[in-house]
Amino acid sequence: MDYTKRVSQHTATAYSKIGLKAGLEIHQQLDTGKLFCACPGYLRSEEPHFSVIRRLHAVAGETGEVDAAVAHEAVLGRTFLYQGYNDTTCLVELDEEPPHFVNEAALDEALKIALLLNCEVYPVTQVMRKTVIDGSNTSGFQRTVLLAHDGFIETSFGKVKVDTVCLEEDAARIVSRDEKAAVYRLDRLGIPLVEIATAAVLDTPDKIKETALKLGEILRACKVKRGIGTIRQDVNISIKGHDRVEVKGFQDPAMMIETVRKEVLRQETELKQGKKEGAVRNALPSGDTEFLRPMPGKARMYPETDLPLLTIGRERLNMLKKILPKLRTEIRDELKKKGLSEEMIRLVLDGHLDEFETLIKIYSKDADLVAKMVVLWRQEFASKLKKSFEEIEGVLNERVLEQVLEALVKGEIGEGDIKGVLWKVTNGAKIEDALKIEKIDDHVIEEKIIAIVRDKPGLRAGAYMGMVIAKMPGVDKRKAMEILNRLVK
Amino acid sequence: MAELGFNAGDEVRFRLAQEEVDGIVLENPDSSVVLIKLKSGYNVGIPRDNILASRVLKKYERVVKEEKKSEVKRKKGLPVLGLVVTGGTIAAKLDAKRGGTSWLTDPGELMRFYPELFEMVDVKTIDVPFMTSSEAMTSEHWIKIAESVKKMVDDPEIKGVIVTHGTDFLHYTAAALSFFLQDLTKPVVLTYSQRSIDRASSDANLNLVCAARAALSDVAEVMLVGHANLNDEYCHAMRGSKVRKMHSSRRDAFQPINCEPIAKVWPDKIEFISEYRKSPGGKTVLDTSFTDKVALVKFYPGQDPSILDLYALKFKGVVIEVGGLGHLPPSEAKHNWVPALKKHIRQGLVICAAAQTIYGRLDPFVYSNGREIVDAGVIFLDDMLPETAMVKLGWVLGHFGWKGKVKEKMKENVSGELNERIAV
């Protein structure tokens, strides 16, 4: 039978007949500092400041056996180069200092997610080391801690069980790789990741997709990073008789249905050939999957001896329950009342709500201005300078925006100066210097504008504006417009 | 709270208010929390008070291994070394069942953890005089190590000796061996690890292999070999009496002080940077006469000189870490140290001065404040490390025959602890 025909013929009943069982595993970066050190957690594009050469060695597991996945990754004799930045990489990422106590902000955020997923939080838990020797972790392991279990989310087809919520550190970012050496960048190593695993109860591709979207919405209500690479979605898929296959690397939930369909077909074909072995496979943009490595075993996990047990008290959970983020629909209405356009609301909700709400408290007169500061202008500067949004955000951080708004409230600068100030800071100016704006006295502005109007009478206000800017390039445009509106009726 | 009838290693089902949890019980020093390993491999804790009931699903079966020490298979044709194992991170392995660490002393296990070393050299003798962390050591431990090393260097087949050791006070042992092993005929190399050996990234492998390379050289000195920088590329071989732990966690924690390293050491080659001592032949002399009635005192502003009264009660000698070029509060200071120094020296306490700055040489003649201290009878130890000075003072005062020659002996360059020329 024709391949596409076979694919389209899989209906819900057909899936239940072949016993499709799927679960989701979602890894979402949190928008906080790194998990086990005091470094900020954003990716950088400029030349690294230093690099360190390392080799990894084979280590026998705690019981002596070598895990199948680890054996597959065996990298003996290979050299690893780790790139870092003096101001955003420290000894912890280089495996030259023991991990600091878990980042409280990240822990709070992960716990909020667990609570939103209706999970039971473990009162005491232990940070574990998961052996990874592809070089993506300088230590040779990834730190992970199980926080909560047995939750659920509501969907159109009923409750979907959430098995576990873990908090993990992200791995270093691969820059290049060949047979002898691999180059990694340490900017990503240690960024907190929340890992959510649902039970393997999803029995159609549509349910998988809906569940993924629902989880995504809950995550976005919390302080999570946005953009490509900040969320990684894996789907565990098996049909009756076949071992579990982990399909990794979905960026787009839209591809999920197609990919699951094709994976089911692949497993059917394998069963016909007498094969049933599970594996980790990579999702390709075409909807196909390719073999990545064998399934990992649990021999890869042992305790992080450098850290004490993690205790999560009742009081902490009760406090977090009080500040659980609101649902998006509620927030949408509130922002609308503040006068934001639909587009602006979308942008603010896209991971910037916290900042927006902090800043609007400083300057509540113009929600649109605050929204522009938080999202639009940073985006604009990022594309102008060909840098990542996160990088610009690192420079134009909340504290900088606060200072600028404080200056505005004090009358030291005008609303029209703000974008210029931010641009200067983005280009390396100290905030104090950027705020020193040569203020043209209001009277002088008015005098000059009167002169312009007198010179060429009878035009509309907008037409004069161009001339005003040409004469006084640094002029506060709002102020100028105000004056023009008064003069030209 | 009911007595719970399970032990570490048992697989147990716990009944809690809302649910049941199965797991393997792990040892946990905090008895208010039961630590368990879940099927997923994750460990979590259950507060004992939350446990309503428990049932052992499977008792832990201790696999009793035969208590026969495995032997190292010697590889003929390879250069022959001796190995002294004394404890520290480099010989500590994680014990998953107990949740702690245990010592790595079994030769066969050493081979399994450090295959590269055993492929490179023929380790003829492995001696384990004791296993302890370096902070738990005393001068008696230094003496035991020296005795083990002496036996090995006397073996004509053995070309050199490696000593593995905890890092925190490794430089004290290095200094002690530098004085205890006189007329040394072969390389004696101390090494360590800063990162535990369960991790693939441990620094132990490079340190050990480079230590072996240094132990095969013609340097007849006590050396410390460890990472030269943060790269897993090469190590420095540093003189035992002139090396100090200068960082709490970096793999290049040990740095030569007031001198250059003796050599850069790669797994397959050695490149000498400094002059070093070669064996004049003859036999190594073990000279472990030592008194631990010596102390190291760090001066700080405002310190009351009467602190010396306390030291004088119990000790024969003290090394004071003095400020700058060699300063303590002079006669014009409110808490003038000069009379106390004079009094105790007159009464027989040996007082030496070493640089609190660690780097640089003392010179008490630049300021009158320093001259007053010299005149009081304090022995100035130039660029000698304070820790080395303390060990050397114990060694010198341990020799009753050297009474009356203490100053002369302290100022004599016995094992490279003094360097007349500090390079830029």
CATH of the domain at B233: 3.40.50.1170
Integer Cα distance of B153 and B150 in angstroms: 5
For residues A129 and A236, membership in a common domain is answered with yes
Of residues A55, A63, A150, nearest to B232 (C-beta) = A55
For residues B220 and B301, membership in a common domain is answered with no
Query: What is the crossing angle of helices A398-409 and A418-426, to 10°?
Result: 150
Whether A314 is covered by a domain: the verdict is: no
For residues A158 and A286, membership in a common domain is answered with yes
For residues B281 and B299, membership in a common domain is answered with no
For residues B309 and B162, membership in a common domain is answered with no
To the query of whether residue B168 is one of the catalytic residues in this protein, the response is yes
For residues A246 and A352, membership in a common domain is answered with no
Q: Which residue has the tokens 């094709």?
A: A262
For residues A429 and A449, membership in a common domain is answered with no
To the query of whether residue B89 is one of the catalytic residues in this protein, the response is yes
Task: Identify all chain B residues contacting A164, using CB atoms and an 8 Å cutoff.
Answer: 40
Cβ–Cβ contact B43 with A under 8 A:
yes
Whether B269 is covered by a domain: the verdict is: yes
Inter-chain CB proximity A126 and B201 less than 8 Å: no
Whether A311 is covered by a domain: the verdict is: no
Helix (H) or strand (E) holding A438: none
Cβ–Cβ contact B165 with A under 8 A:
no
Q: Tens of pLDDT along chain A (489 residues)?
A: 444 445 445 677 788 888 999 999 999 999 999 999 999 999 999 999 999 999 987 665 544 445 444 554 554 567 899 999 999 999 999 999 999 999 999 999 999 999 999 999 999 999 999 888 789 999 989 999 999 999 999 899 999 999 999 999 999 999 999 888 899 999 999 999 999 999 999 999 999 999 998 899 899 889 999 888 899 999 999 999 999 999 998 867 778 889 999 999 999 999 999 989 999 999 998 889 999 888 876 557 889 989 999 999 999 999 999 999 876 666 777 888 888 888 888 888 877 888 888 898 888 888 889 999 998 899 999 999 998 888 898 889 888 999 999 988 888 888 888 888 899 999 888 888 888 876 666 777 888 888 888 888 888 888 888 888 888 777 777 888 888 888 876
For residues B320 and B233, membership in a common domain is answered with no
Residue A345 tokens read as 């609301």
Whether A398 is covered by a domain: the verdict is: yes
Of residues A124, A144, A298, nearest to B44 (C-beta) = A124
Whether A164 is covered by a domain: the verdict is: yes
Q: Which residues of A169-190 are buried (b: 16+ CB within 10 A; e: fewer)?
A: bbbbbeeeeeeeebbbbbbbbb
For residues B92 and B221, membership in a common domain is answered with yes
Inter-chain CB proximity B200 and A56 less than 8 Å: yes
Whether A80 is covered by a domain: the verdict is: yes
Inter-chain CB proximity B41 and A298 less than 8 Å: yes
Integer Cα distance of B348 and B354 in angstroms: 19
Integer Cα distance of A235 and A198 in angstroms: 10
Instruction: For residue B400, count CB atoms less than 10 angstroms from its CB and return exposed for 0-12, middle for 13-18, buried for 19 or more.
Output: exposed
Nearest chain A CA: its distance from B89 CA (Å): 13
To the query of whether residue B167 is one of the catalytic residues in this protein, the response is yes
* Three-class DSSP category at A114: helix
Cβ–Cβ contact A120 with B under 8 A:
yes
Task: Identify all chain A residues contacting B200, using CB atoms and an 8 Å cutoff.
Answer: 56-59, 131, 133, 139-141
Number of domains forming the structure of chain B:
3
Nearest chain B CA: its distance from A83 CA (Å): 12
Of residues B42, B94, B206, nearest to A128 (C-beta) = B42
Helix (H) or strand (E) holding A183: strand A181-185
* Three-class DSSP category at A13: helix
Task: Return the CATH number at B31.
Answer: 2.30.30.520
For residues B93 and B224, membership in a common domain is answered with yes
For residues A337 and A460, membership in a common domain is answered with no
Nearest chain A CA: its distance from B417 CA (Å): 29
For residues A402 and A465, membership in a common domain is answered with no
CA A208, A210, A216, A217: dihedral to nearest 10 degrees?
A: -160
Name the pLDDT band for B98 (thresholds 50, 70, 90). low
Query: How far from the centroid of its chain's Cα atoms is residue B406's Cα?
Result: 27
Integer Cα distance of B359 and B361 in angstroms: 7
Whether B112 is covered by a domain: the verdict is: yes
Whether B378 is covered by a domain: the verdict is: yes
Give the model confidence (pLDDT) of B219-271 as tens digits: 999 999 999 999 999 999 999 999 999 999 999 999 999 999 999 999 999 99
For residues A287 and A381, membership in a common domain is answered with no
Cβ–Cβ contact B360 with A under 8 A:
no
Integer Cα distance of A149 and A143 in angstroms: 18
For residues A191 and A267, membership in a common domain is answered with yes
Domain that holds residue A203: 3-303
Task: Return the CATH number at B327.
Answer: 3.40.50.40
Integer Cα distance of A356 and A352 in angstroms: 6
Higher pLDDT among residues A457 and B33, named by residue: B33
Task: Identify all chain A residues contacting B205, using CB atoms and an 8 Å cutoff.
Answer: 55, 57
Integer Cα distance of B258 and B272 in angstroms: 17
Whether B302 is covered by a domain: the verdict is: yes
Domain that holds residue B365: 294-411
Integer Cα distance of A426 and A127 in angstroms: 38
Residues 232-271 of chain B with CB under 8 A from chain A are 232-233, 249-251
Integer Cα distance of A394 and A230 in angstroms: 16
Number of domains forming the structure of chain A:
3
Nearest chain A CA: its distance from B34 CA (Å): 9
Whether A373 is covered by a domain: the verdict is: yes
Cβ–Cβ contact A139 with B under 8 A:
yes
* Three-class DSSP category at A369: helix
Give the strands of the sheet with B294-298, arranged side by side: B294-298, B317-322, B350-355, B379-380
Whether A333 is covered by a domain: the verdict is: yes
To the query of whether residue B245 is one of the catalytic residues in this protein, the response is yes
Pick from B138, B140, B142: which is nearest to B178 by CA?
Answer: B142
Inter-chain CB proximity B198 and A55 less than 8 Å: no
For residues A427 and A456, membership in a common domain is answered with no
Question: Please, which residues have CB within 8 angstroms of residue A295's CB and are 6 or more apart in sequence?
Answer: A68, A69, A243, A244, A246, A278, A279, A280
* Three-class DSSP category at B125: strand
Answer positive or negative: Cα dihedral of B108, B113, B115, B120.
Answer: negative
Of residues B18, B33, B202, nearest to A120 (C-beta) = B18
Say what the ipTM of the complex is: 0.92
Which of B286, B302, B325 is at the close of a domain?
Answer: B286
CA A353, A356, A362, A366: dihedral to nearest 10 degrees?
A: -130
For residues A195 and A252, membership in a common domain is answered with yes
Whether B400 is covered by a domain: the verdict is: yes
For residues A428 and A473, membership in a common domain is answered with no
Which one of B86, B125, B164, B167 is the catalytic residue?
B167
Integer Cα distance of B339 and B221 in angstroms: 41
Pick from A383, A380, A394: which is nearest to A428 by CA?
Answer: A394
Which of B251, B267, B286 is at the close of a domain?
Answer: B286
Of residues A53, A97, A146, nearest to B232 (C-beta) = A53
Whether A313 is covered by a domain: the verdict is: no
A89 Rama class: left (phi>0) / alpha (psi -120 to 50) / beta: beta
